[in-house]
Amino acid sequence: QVQLVESGGGVVQPGRSLRLSCAASGFTFSSYGMHWVRQAPGKGLEWVAVIWYDGSNKYYADSVKGRFTISRDNSKNTLYLQMNSLRAEDTAVYYCARDRREVGVVAATLDYWGQGTLVTVSS
C-alpha cells in the first residue's frame, strides 16, 4: 500500500535552515508528482510546493518562494523540502502528498498524504 513518511522536523531558530524528507513506498515514486502542504497550529491547510514526477518543473507558494526548495531523488524514493531563512510564521506541520496523476502535468489532486512532521521556528 502507498506509504509516505515525513521526517526532519524539529525546533529551529529564526533565520536558520532545515531540510525535511518524505520517504515513499508502495508505488512507483518516479511516476508521480509530489506536493508539500503545511498547517500552522489550529489553522487551515496551505499548499507550499509541487515538483513534477521527473523533477523537471517546480512551483512554490508566494509565501515561501526564494526561501524553500523542493527536490526529489527518484533512486531513493524520497522527496525533500529545503527550508532556509525560516520565520516564526513557518511554524507548522508539514505534509508530503502524492499527486493523483501518473506522469505528465500534475493534476493537483492529492490522493495520499503522509502523517506530517512538525516544524517549530522559535528563539
11: contact with other proteins by CB under 8 A = no
Q: Does 27 bind other proteins (CB under 8 A)?
A: no
Closer to other proteins by CB, 106 or 121: give it. Answer: 106
Query: With the CA atoms of 9, 30, 105 and 68 taken in that order, what torsion angle do they form, in degrees rounded to the nearest 10?
Result: 30
CA trace torsion 69, 73, 74, 79 (10° rounding): -50
- The answer to whether residue 89 forms part of the interface with other proteins (CB under 8 A) is no
3-state SS, residue 38: strand
Name the one range near other proteins by CB under 8 A: 7-15, 23-31, 75-83, 97-105. Answer: 97-105
Residues 40-79: x/- map of binding to other proteins (CB under 8 A)?
----xxxx--x------x-x-x------------------
The 3-state DSSP class for residue 30 equals: helix
